[in-house]
Amino acid sequence: MELERTLVLVKPDGVQRGLVGTIIGRFEGTGMKIVGMKLMHVSEDLASRHYAEHEGKPFYDGLVNYITSAPIVALCLEGPDAIAITRKLMGATRPNEAPPGTIRGDFGIEVSRNLVHGSANKQDAAREVGLFFNDAELIDYARSNDVWIVSDEG
Q: Which helix H or strand E contains 142, and what residues bound it? A: none
Q: Is 117 a catalytic residue?
A: yes
What is the residue extent of each domain of the chain?
3-7+20-149
The answer on pLDDT for 154 being more than 60 is: no
Check 41, 50, 54, 117 and give the catalytic one: 117
Q: Does CATH place domain 3-7+20-149 in 3.30.70.141?
A: yes
The answer on pLDDT for 91 being more than 90 is: yes
pLDDT tens digits along 114-145: 999 999 999 999 999 999 999 999 999 999 99
pLDDT tens digits along 39-80: 999 999 999 999 999 999 999 999 999 999 999 999 999 999
Render 19-55 in DSSP notation, one character per residue: -HHHHHHHHHHTT-EEEEEEEEPPPHHHHHHHTGGGT
Look at residue 63 in the predicted model and tell me its pLDDT: 92
